[in-house]
A and B are shown apart, each in its own frame.
Chain A
Amino acid sequence: MRVRLRTAAVFAAWLPLTACGIQETDVIGAGSAATVDLLPAREVRMLLFFLSPDGVLMPVPRSVGESEFAGEQHGPDSGEDGGRPATEETIAALLAGPNETEKRAGLVNEASLPALDAPARTRTSVNGVDVILAAPLAGLTRPAEWQLICTVAYAESAEGTPMVTLRGTDGTRTPARCDPQPGVVSSAAATAPR
């Protein structure tokens, strides 16, 4: 018995050395992400939220001045007031879908988004912003809803903080705030066909 204990002690003493070399690890969090400036400036861009093939909500700035240059047929007109584009224009640009560059990166619109021919209006309310769509909301999926909410929120404010209420021809959705954490909508995995 004593001999066995002694053997065990020797073994235990040498055990740490047996794990030689460099070991694999799990994924370890390390500091913050890289933060870059969003170009172009807010005054000359609109920020649209498309979905990646993985269903991740991705913000895409689109320079307003370059819309014709990009050869996009549904590009928004220049803002009437010469400043940043109006929210309605931004919604129209979102509904029009990704342009060539964006499509090349695999960005898509959620299929249940209303068609472009259903114009939208916005209205500032006590809660934040109301988006009035000339289309039923019944088929609108969660990813599509997030696309609209975030696009509107960031069009209305630099921080994307306002509450957004979606109103359709058939009802109203609960007011929500854009929460563009990655992976929030990925669970839906709603990848629309191009």
Chain B
Amino acid sequence: MNAAPTRRVRRIATFGLRTRLVLAFLLVAAVSAGTTAALTYREARSAVLVSAQDTAVASFREQVQTLAPSLPVDPETLRELLFVLASKAKPHPWIVFAEYGSLRVSSSTRPTSSVITPELRRTALTTSHGSFQRVVKNGVPYLTIGVPVLTRTSGVGTLPTGLVLFAVMQMSEEQANVDALVTAARDGALPGLAIALVPALIAARSVLRPVRELRRAARSMGSGRLDERIKVSGSDELADLARTFNESAGQLEKSVDELQQAEARARRFASDVSHELRTPLAGMLAVTEVLDEDADGLDPDTARAVRLISAETGKLAVLVEDLMEISRFDARAAELNTDEVDVAETIGKTLLHRRWEDRVSTELPDGIRARLDPRRFDIVVANLVGNALRHGSEPVTVRLRTRTAADGASLLVVEVADSGPGIRPDVLPHIFDRFYKADAARTRSAGSGLGLAITQENVRLHGGTVHAENGPDGGAVFVIEIPLGGPTGYERDNGRNASGTDEATAGVDPSRDDTERAPA
């Protein structure tokens, strides 16, 4: 039962503000114009009609009064009298009918009228005052008047004679006047409505302009320009809204600024820490190498301790390198040096350099060429394959293919699948998080905990995506999709964001990106 009105309301609500304002204005104009026109029309109409009726009734009675018919009336004499009456019609010609006993006489060819209603006839016959009635017959309005004739018996006494005279008058002229009133009312109201459109549009504009400005400002704030402000003019509600918007924008800008500064400080700290760690680590690595070589000459316990220190120092060095890499990504200082390469060949080189070609089976069709940064792509593939070898179990398979995306772009697809137990579903959403360990107990894994995060950042830098899933017959599958033509979309996005956060990231020096990441 409520469905239909609700739908209608919803449909109305989808009208724009301008439409609604204009409609409301038009409605008000229409109602006022209509009411005024209607009331004026009614008054004017009744004035026209009353004037005509009063004139007709009064003059008819006056004319009848001058007749002095002799009683009992003789039809011929009466007809003569009626002709006289008819000739003195006022304000319009009328036809006069007389009734006396069974006599029916008229000034026309027919003795009785079909317009006079039985009610008027009865009233005229049974009362001693005049009466009239408006009758519309076949669309023509008539005024019918009935006047009984009384006779003076003496000075004051009167006696109904039984003679009743009726006049039937067409009100064509009154109808024309009334129709002219309707036309005038319509011709007055319609231009009024048209004129009402002008203030409606002006009012709509005065409301819509600030609203449009607000929307523009809100949109540009949404896209990062927090310094956007609205010009406040006037002191109405919209101006209040603009003022509030400006204040909120100011506060938002301030808190975003503080947040960015805090974040920048945190990043700089991480970056500085990893930098400061690198120099002593380099020395430690050199020392542990020497110790490693001489370990054979030491007693077994000392040799085990020396080897442990050596291994942990190596891991620490990897962790510090990874931290520095991540810092560069966070600072948006990572650069992409693309080159047109044969993808199968690049993957083959990666496996060969790390001596994995025996442990990894490949499905690498020749002839797939893409614009890639070979160094970063190498890191991506190495991280994924290393991850698969470390956490999954062999055989590990690397597959290469291309596909066409929904928007028509050609994508390079690299799949790295292992035959391990797969990834638990509750872990899957976090697999690319930094320092996320799938197994909380295995905190001392071989990786730094940043490998997959770095992989993801690198793939993103290429304008691609990486995701993990479980294969149909067990085992984790990591899928990389990178546009064959290079990271056009990503570069543009990255560039705009970078310019928006210039101040915040200025603390991190891009020139520190001077180190090659050591092969795992």
Contact = CB atoms under 8 A, between A and B. Distances in A.
Interface string A1-13: 1111010011001
A183 B125 contact: yes
Nearest to B37: A17
B30 A13 contact: yes
A158 to B, nearest CB: 4
Contacts of B133: 24-28
A71 interface: no
Interface centre among A59, A105, A159 (most CB of B within 10 A): A105
A36 B67 contact: yes
A193 interface: no
Contacts of A34: 61, 64-65, 67, 130, 147-150, 165
Interface string B118-139: 0110010111111111111000
Given A17-B185, A181-B160, A27 B123 contact: yes
Interface string A162-181: 00000000000000000011
A35 B130 contact: no
B49 interface: yes
Interface stretch (B96-104, B285-293, B408-416, B441-449): B96-104
Contact of B61 (A24, A29, A31, A56): A31
Nearest to A19: B42
Contacts of A30: 53-54, 57, 129-132, 145
Size category of the A interface is 35 or more
B150 A160 contact: no
Interface stretch (B71-79, B207-215, B218-226): B71-79
Interface string B141-152: 100010111111
Main SS class of interface, B: mixed
A52 B120 CA distance: 18
Nearest to A26: B133
B120 A37 contact: no
A154 B159 CA distance: 11
A61 interface: yes
Given A17-B41, A30-B131, A31-B58, A53 B101 contact: yes
Contacts of A39: 68, 70-71
Contact of A10 (B27, B57, B136): B27
Interface string B174-186: 1100110010010
B162 A56 contact: yes
Interface in A93-110: 101-102, 104-107
B101 A29 contact: no
Interface of A: 1-4, 6, 9-10, 13-17, 20-39, 42, 47, 52-54, 56-61, 101-102, 104-107, 154, 158-160, 180-183, 186
15 contacts: A2-B9, A13-B34, A14-B34, A16-B42, A27-B133, A29-B127, A34-B165, A38-B152, A39-B70, A53-B102, A58-B101, A58-B162, A104-B74, A104-B103, A160-B153
